[in-house]
Amino acid sequence: MKKANASETLVTESLSVRDKKHLWHPLTQHKLHPEMLGIVKAKGAVLYDENGKEYIDGIASWYTSAYGHCNEYITDKVYAQMQKLDQVVFSGFTHEPAVKLSEELIKLLPENQEKLFFSDNGSTATEIGIKMALQYHFNQGRKRKTMLAFEEGFHGDTFGAMSVSGLSVYNGPFEEFFIDVERIDVPTDENIEEILSDLEIRLQQNHIAGFIYEPLVQGAAAMKMHKAENLNRILKLLKRHGVLTIADEVMTGFGKTGKPFASDYIDTKPDIICMSKALTAGLIPMAITSCSEEVYNAFYSDDLAKGLFHGHTYTGNPLACTAALAGLELLQSEEIQDSIERIISSHQEFDSRIKNHEKVARTRQCGIIYALDLNVKMERYGNLRDQIFKHFMNNGVFLRPLGSTIYISAPYVITDEQLQKIYTTIEDLLNSI
C-alpha cells in the first residue's frame, strides 16, 4: 500500500492520531494513556487545541511560561537576535547576550554568587551542581564522596540528578547505578532538633561533599513546603563542616515564591544555585548553575585536570540568553511585581473559602504557588487522579494533579477572571467527589 504523503496526512488526520505513530512522551505509560491532545496555539495564560477549545494554563506549562505564552516583548527581542547571531560554540568564544545576562543575573542572585555555568535544562543544572560539589573536594585532596539530600526530593532525570532524588516511582530501575547518597527528613518544628543532632554525628565522619535541596517548596513531592528558619539551621550546620550547599531553584526561581529566589528568604546563602524553567520564560531550553567565588577558585589552577570538563552543544545559546534577559526585565517591572502580589492575595482569598471544606485535608501557599490536598484516598497515578484531570480539562482548565494534591502555579499575566475560573472549577470538584 502506498504511504500517504505529508500533505495528505495533514488534511486527513488529526495531530492526536499522527502523534501515535512515532512519538514517545515523558512520564507516560502509552498502553494506559494512548491519547495526546494536540495544541496548536498559546497566548498569555491560554492554550488552544486543534478543535478550537481553550484551556487556562494553571501551571504555566510546568512552571516555565511565567510571563505568559508568546509574550511579544520576549519574542521580539529573540527575533532581533536571530538576525545577528543564532548559535556559536561557547568553548573559546563568547557573545553579548551571554555577557549581558551574566551581568544582569548576578545583580539579582544572592550576593555570594559570582560565576555562571550554562547548560540545557533543570536536570543538567543540578547534575553540574553535584559535579561541582564532588570535584570541589576532590581537587583539594579530600575524600568526600557522599551527597546529602532530602527525603522525597526531586532534582531531575539524569543519573546524578536521579541519585539525589528520593521519589522511587521515577528511579526504581536505576538505583543500583547511583552515586552515594544519604537522606534527611524535611524539617518541621517537631523534628528539627532530631535532624540537627543526627547530622552532627554524621558530619564527624567528614564524608559528605554537598547537600542539594529544593528551598521552601518540594515540587514533585506534591508541593511539600517547609519553613525558611528550619532550613537555615540545617544550612548553617553544614557550612560549619565544609559541606557545599546546592539550592535547586529550577522550580522556585524567578518570582514564584514572591521574591526572585526562594533562597532570598533564608539567611544562610547556598554555595551553588541551579536554575532553569522560567529562566528563559518557557521559550527556549536553557539552564544555569551559579556558584560562589570560593567554589570557582577550587577549579582555577595550572593543573588542566582540575577544570570542570563538562559541556553541552547549545551551552550559552545567544537566543536563549536573549530570552532570559527579556524575562529578567519583565520580572523586575512594576507591572509583573504588582501582578505577583495580586495573585498571592487572590490565592489567600480562595484559601479562606475552601480550607475548611470536608474534602480538603490541608492547604498551603508560598508566593504564587498554591496547593491543596484532597481528603480522599488515591494513588499518585491512578484512575481517580485521571478522572480529576479530565474534570479540569473538560472545564477548560489545565491543572496537573500530583496524586491527591492539586496545585496552581499560573503565569504572572493571568487575569482575575481566569483565576476565578480555576478556583470555581476546583470548588466544583470538591462538591462532586
281 with 327: CB under 8 angstroms? Answer: yes
Q: Is 183 annotated as a binding residue?
A: no
Q: Is 180 annotated as a binding residue?
A: no
Cα–Cα distance between 379 and 404 in angstroms, integer?
Answer: 7
Q: Is 233 annotated as a binding residue?
A: no
Q: CA 251, 255, 260: angle at the middle one, nearest 5?
A: 100
Q: Is 62 annotated as a binding residue?
A: yes
Cα–Cα distance between 162 and 177 in angstroms, integer?
Answer: 10
294 with 151: CB under 8 angstroms? Answer: no
Concatenating the DSSP letter of every residue in 23-83 gives ---TT--TTT------EEEEEBTEEEETTS-EEEETTHHHHT-TT-BT-HHHHHHHHHHHT
| DSSP helix/strand/coil, 383 | helix
Which set of grid coordinates corresponds to residue 415? 487575569
Q: Is 143 annotated as a binding residue?
A: no
Cα–Cα distance between 403 and 311 in angstroms, integer?
Answer: 36
Q: CA 370, 375, 378: angle at the middle one, nearest 5?
A: 100
Residue 347 makes CB contacts below 8 A (sequence gap 6+) with 365, 368, 370, 408
- Which amino acid is present at 267? D
Q: Is 391 annotated as a binding residue?
A: no
Report the first-to-last Cα separation within the chain, whole angstroms. Answer: 49
Q: Is 24 annotated as a binding residue?
A: no
Enter the DSSP assignment of 265: G
262 with 269: CB under 8 angstroms? Answer: no
Q: Is 264 annotated as a binding residue?
A: no
Strands (DSSP E) contained in 214-342 are 217-218, 224-225, 244-248, 272-275, 287-292
Name the binding residues: 62, 122-123, 248, 277, 311-313, 400
Name the binding residues for pyridoxal 5'-phosphate: 122-123, 248, 312-313
Name the binding residues for substrate: 62, 277, 311, 400
